[in-house]
Amino acid sequence: MTQLQTAAELPPAYLATLNQLNLNPLWPSLRAFLPEGEPTGASVATHWRYNDVRPLLMQAGELTPIEKAERRVLVLCNPGLGLEKLQATPSIYVGMQLILPGEDAPNHRHTPSAIRLVVEGSGGYTTVEGEKLPMEHGDLILTPPGLWHEHGHEGDGPVVWLDALDLPLIYLLEHSFADAAPLQQAKTAPDASETRFTRAGLVPYDELDSSAPYPMRRYPWKDTRNALLALAGQTGRDKPIHLAYINPLSGEACLPFLGFSALMLRPGETLRLPRRSCSQVLHVVEGTGTTTANDTTFSWADADVSALPAHSRVTITNGSSKKPAFLFIVDDAPLHKKLRIYMEREW
């Protein structure tokens, strides 16, 4: 490896002249930006226990009315990146959002892409561009960039969901902003997951050549769970039971930069995941177990969340010998693939 000159080896007057002209020499910093052989990063494997987060989220409901919050969220922050950055990974923002009975979270639209994964409660809903989407445990709901959306609660008890956005990336591009509008007042009616896209492999005939980017905005957990169980019956013990959420018309990822998938672990099963270039966030929909990312091991239970840095060596174990475990995964693989930098590396 070439030994590069350091800034200290350059004359101070030369460096001062460069800085006055808004210039900097590359070579003293080259290895920091382009390390040889292995990438480096500040983010660390981090775990959030829902049993720790939930009481504080409920307290936020007592302390802050929705009118004062707009979105009542506790952000899951990676300590390696700095708590002020509001990032779970360099490109993924994750938060836990609370809405209480009778509340409305105002109608707005924004440039970042977002999803909601329902953690607990019933009676909540999200309206996206006039389509009212009920929120039940484990449901995935898309709020794509630039589409009007709002949240409400017509039931009893708290409703909590996991937010995941590509906010860090859009903010880095200096293109993060939102617009506000009055509530949509949408009527209750079956959404596209119940009418137009009810079976895999079948789409409305008049949409065969459609290029609609977000034709389906709600993915019910009951359907995903049943699909995982059915796949398990036809999958060998040496293969993972892993399903991707996709646009049913194009077969592509649901959103531009973030990918979403559901993983089932058989009773007692241990999986060694591929070592991927993308960062990942794992949410426990159902079950208990452990995850090891490089040299860090977490024990997890229902509704817990883990953030795993890019290029992590990940092993996941179902802690139950009798019941399957189900995980929801957010990653930035679609972004990597669009940039043509996605890779899977040897352990």
Question: Is residue 37 domain-resident?
Answer: no
Q: Model confidence over 101-127: pLDDT tens digits? A: 999 999 999 999 999 999 999 999 999
pTM strictly above 0.75: yes
Q: Is the pLDDT of residue 80 over 90?
A: yes
The verdict on residue 15 lying in a domain is no
Structure tokens that stand for 159 in this block:
């409703």
Average pLDDT over residues 249-266: 97
Does residue 102 lie within any of the structural domains?
Answer: yes
CATH of the domain at 341: 2.60.120.10
Render pLDDT for 281-297 as a digit per residue (tens, 0 to 9): 999 999 999 999 999 99
Residue 319 has what pLDDT?
A: 98
Mean pLDDT of 251-277: 97
Please count the other Cβ atoms lying within 10 Å of the Cβ belonging to residue 34.
9
Structural domain includes residue 13: no
5-42, pLDDT tens digit by residue?
999 999 999 999 999 999 999 999 999 999 998 899 99
pLDDT score, position 185: 87
In sequence order, the 6+-apart residues with CB closer than 8 A to the CB of 132 are 125, 126, 186, 187, 188, 189, 191
The Cα 172–Cα 332 span in angstroms is 15
Both structure tokens of 273:
């995941």
pLDDT digits (tens, 9 = 90+) for 326-342: 999 999 999 999 999 99
Whether the CB-CB separation of 309 and 43 falls below 8 Å is answered with: yes
Asked, for residue 4, whether it belongs to a domain, the answer is no
Spatial separation of the C-alpha atoms in residues 121 and 99, rounded to whole Å: 10
CB distance 36 to 1 below 8 Å: yes
Residue 311 lies in a domain: yes
- As a whole number, the mean pLDDT across the chain is 97
- State yes or no: pLDDT of 1 exceeds 90: no
Number of folded domains that form the chain: 1
Structure token digits, residue 310: 């890019």
Does residue 3 fall inside a structural domain?
Answer: no
Domain that holds residue 184: 46-200+217-345
- Hey, which residues does 164 pair with through a beta bridge? 94, 115
Comparing C-alpha atoms, which of 135, 129, 74, 72 is closest to residue 105?
72
User: Residue 238 above 90 pLDDT?
Assistant: no
In a domain, 32, yes or no: no
pLDDT tens-digit series, residues 180-209? 999 998 999 999 999 999 999 999 999 999
Backbone angles phi, psi at 312, to 5 degrees: -70, 145
